Amino acid sequence: MNEAQRIATGDVVFGCELGSTRIKSTLVTPCGKPLGSGAFGWENQLEDGVWTYGMQDVLDGVAASYAELARDVRDTHGVELTRIGALGFSAMMHGYIATDADGELLVPFRTWRNNFTGEASTALTDLLGWPIPQRWSIAHLYHAITQGEAHVRDIAHITTLAGWVHWKLSGEWAIGVGDASGMFPVDPKTGQWDAWMLETFDSHVADRGLGWKLGDILPAIVPVGEPAGTLTAEGAALLDASGALQPGAPLAPPEGDAQTGMVVTNSVRPRTGNVSAGTSVFAMLVLEERLSSVHHEIDLVLTPDGELVGMAHSNNCSSDFDAWAGLLGEAATLLGAEFDDDTLFGKLMPLALEGDDDAGGLLAYGYVSGEHMTGFSEGRPLFVRGTGARFTLANFVRAHLFSALCALRTGMNVLTEREGVKVEELRGHGGFFKTEGVGQRIMAAATNTPVGLPNTAGEGGAWGMALLAAFLVREDRGQSLPDFLDTLIGDSIGPAVAPAPGDVAGFDEYFNRHSAALAVEAAAVEHVE
């Protein structure tokens, strides 16, 4: 069949990812070839001290992204999209969505960006002997319990953002292995919630009179490649407001954005690794064995097919630089320049490669929100320079790009230096890598590791989820996910850029200066509202 025939007969798969600033959709053939795409821009809000998104905004954004995709398919292929062979949803991991038995939210969605669960995180890490970061759903739940929040006794379900969208479209409280592993520990041997840790948690809160056990309110974990429900008529209407889309397609288990990052970079086997960089930044190294000890800087999560992963996650990456770029763009507009965002970033980011190795003594902290990696529950974006610093535009850009990766470097040092984890190459994806050659070289310097990029480096998440949906309807049911990805992705990863010695030395000097001056950021948090 040609592409139009595939679309007309529904021999296509759909993937959608809800990122922090964009909701992206893509339609592909069962072999992974893109057929159309759509997107919708959105932003989180800080309401009553909580970073959140409105749930109607979630549904509206998914529908708008799908509508743009459907228009793209119609304009490109001349066919109306009415049937889909399989579909799946991915989203930002972690966070806290708690509902009653009718599925009504009990409190506003608390995203991964919130950093007020420090005491809960520490207590659970000690209790379970497993690193429980502040972002994890169980940390948010335990925080709510210990704070005596009234809604806790009414909880019937907790889930992630991807899990909630999946429920709205399928009626199933289900989740994929990888996304689940960022809610509560999952046993790599069974691919299910860790039974001992479930029992330990329940015993620990038994005197609270909650009226439920943890295993009863967590979603069901569905293995990769198995259906996690079907698209209901109500779900089809939510996804496609035009009413053209027919229900009945199987849904892949919903996954986290970390897992789709592993998929698009074909980094699901041990000793492989990837790094996702955009609003946040995180590196995922697939482990050959468990780490020797618990580290608060490192998440232990799973690949979509259940391999253990060491994850170094920083809450803040490019947001502060994006704000500075907007300011510089305003100045350029005032002087009569006309340009779009791609042109603006395409001009600014390459300047980082022209700056001094150590960014000329400049210093930036892009802490739009708190940063657990360095011990901050709140953030204040900050730029500072000494009187002898070399204050040039090139150094200014380089300092901000270096700053975006300093917290990540803190976590990478734990994995590679303290634990001796080996990785031959990191594969990057996300908006940080959109400007050719810049993000790749800066990341190589920050991690002292060669960095390669897939062809979809800037927009990979939705495609990664589409590939997981394609794996659901694969012809060879015995084929493993790594082998399936080898077949589909193959050699589409570009050549790795090796770290340049000058860049590495410059980043090391910047990192040491950045770490030594964290007290400046702490003072800003204390004294600046």
Report phi then psi at 370, rounded to 5.
-65, 165
Both tokens of residue 16? 């959608």
User: Which tens digit of pLDDT belongs to each residue from 368-385?
Assistant: 998 988 989 899 999 999
| CA distances, 300 to each of 186, 276, 297, 501 (Å) | 9, 16, 10, 31
Both tokens of residue 199? 């029992």
User: Which tens digit of pLDDT belongs to each residue from 169-216?
Assistant: 999 999 999 999 999 999 999 999 999 999 999 999 999 999 999 999
In single-letter form, the type of residue at position 191 comes to: G
Per-residue pLDDT at 444 exceeds 60: yes
Residue 218 forms part of a structural domain: no
Mean local confidence (pLDDT), 61-65: 98
Q: How confident is the model at residue 456 (pLDDT cuts 50, 70, 90)?
A: low
Which is it for the CA torsion 42, 47, 51, 55, positive or negative? negative
Are 431 and 278 a contacting pair, CB within 8 Å? Answer: yes
Q: What percentage of the chain carries pLDDT values higher than 90?
A: 85
Domain CATH code at residue 276:
3.30.420.40
Are 272 and 310 a contacting pair, CB within 8 Å? Answer: no
pLDDT at 379: 94
Q: How confident is the model at residue 457 (pLDDT cuts 50, 70, 90)?
A: very low
DSSP H stretches of helix in 78-188: 118-128, 137-146, 161-170, 177-180
Residue 503 forms part of a structural domain: yes
pLDDT at 459: 53
User: Which tens digit of pLDDT belongs to each residue from 325-384?
Assistant: 999 999 999 999 999 999 999 999 999 999 999 999 999 999 999 898 898 989 999 999
- 339 is in which domain, residue-wise? 267-454+494-529
How many folded domains does the chain comprise? 1
Classify 62 as helix, strand or coil. helix
How many of the other CB atoms lie within 10 Å of CB of 469? 27
User: Which tens digit of pLDDT belongs to each residue from 129-140?
Assistant: 999 999 999 999
Residue with tokens 């980043």: 507
User: What span, in angstroms and rounded, lies between the C-alpha atoms of 433 and 378?
Assistant: 27
User: What span, in angstroms and rounded, lies between the C-alpha atoms of 470 and 473?
Assistant: 5
Residues for the chain: how many in total? 529
Both tokens of residue 78? 């001349």
Which is it for the CA torsion 308, 272, 90, 405, positive or negative? positive
Residue 488 forms part of a structural domain: no
Q: How confident is the model at residue 458 (pLDDT cuts 50, 70, 90)?
A: very low
Q: What angle do helix axes 393-403 and 501-516 make, rounded to 10 degrees?
A: 70
pLDDT at 342: 93
Q: Would you list the DSSP string of 175-241?
A: EEHHHHTTTS-EETTTTEE-HHHHHHHHHHTGGG--SS-HHHHSPEEE-TTS---B--HHHHHHH-T
Q: Count of H helices and E strands in the chain? A: 19, 21
pLDDT at 491: 65
| Secondary element (H or E) of residue 365 | strand 362-365
How many of the other CB atoms lie within 10 Å of CB of 328? 16
User: Which tens digit of pLDDT belongs to each residue from 67-125?
Assistant: 999 999 999 999 999 999 999 999 999 999 999 999 999 999 999 888 899 999 999 99
Both tokens of residue 465? 């989820």
Q: Would you list the DSSP string of 411-474?
A: HHHIIIIIS----S-EEEESGGG-STTHHHHHHHHHHTS-EE-BTTTTSHHHHHHHHHHHHHT-
Q: How confident is the model at residue 430 (pLDDT cuts 50, 70, 90)?
A: confident
pLDDT at 271: 87
User: What span, in angstroms and rounded, lies between the C-alpha atoms of 312 and 298?
Assistant: 5
Residue 23 forms part of a structural domain: no
127 compared with 258, residue with greater pLDDT: 127
Across-strand partners of 99? Answer: 105, 157
User: What span, in angstroms and rounded, lies between the C-alpha atoms of 70 and 81?
Assistant: 6
Across-strand partners of 38? Answer: 25
pLDDT at 494: 84
Q: How does DSSP classify residue 350?
A: G
User: Which tens digit of pLDDT belongs to each residue from 382-426?
Assistant: 999 999 999 999 999 999 999 999 999 999 999 999 999 988 899
Residue 142 forms part of a structural domain: no
Using the CB atoms, write b or e for 164-192: b if 16+ within 10 Å.
bbbbbbbebbbbbbbbbbbbbbbbbeebb
User: Which tens digit of pLDDT belongs to each residue from 293-303?
Assistant: 999 889 999 99
Mean local confidence (pLDDT), 47-53: 93
Residue 103 forms part of a structural domain: no
How many of the other CB atoms lie within 10 Å of CB of 436? 12
Residue 355 forms part of a structural domain: yes
Q: How confident is the model at residue 276 (pLDDT cuts 50, 70, 90)?
A: confident
pLDDT at 423: 87
Residue 39 forms part of a structural domain: no
Strands 281-286 and 273-277: antiparallel
Q: What percentage of the chain carries pLDDT values higher than 70?
A: 99
Q: How confident is the model at residue 47 (pLDDT cuts 50, 70, 90)?
A: very high
Mean pLDDT of the chain: 94
